Amino acid sequence: MCRLLVAFLTMAVAAGSAGAEEAPQLRKHFETLDLNRDGLITQRELKQADAGLVRALNLSTDRQFQAADLNEDGTLNEAEFSAFETPFPVE
């Protein structure tokens, strides 16, 4: 229950703080990693995706993926992906 509250608050803060120019870039990265276009990113898709992008987005390990997977369903939806902070901008 506590983790779900933290997840909700994290997504709310991220949604409120995302800049107008940042949102299209995040969407582009999400779409690049969502290889089967189902609206979810799985660990399998990350392993098949561009390794440089995955590392730059700080999602290259199982632990990082699990930290980003706020609802613990084994996938990243767009809100979870957007809420997960990257260590530096990705071009």
43-52: burial string, b at 16+ Cβ within 10 Å, e else: bebbeebeee
Question: What three-state secondary structure class fits 50?
Answer: coil
Q: What are the pLDDT digits (tens) for 29-79?
A: 999 999 999 999 999 998 898 888 888 888 888 888 999 999 999 999 999
DSSP H/E element including 2: helix 2-17
Question: Looking at the predicted structure, is the pLDDT value of residue 27 above 80?
Answer: yes
Half-sphere exposure of 87 (CA within 13 A, CB side): 9
Residue 26 one-letter amino acid: L
pLDDT of residue 74: 95
Domains and CATH numbers, the chain: 2-15+22-83 (1.10.238.10)
pTM summary value: 0.70
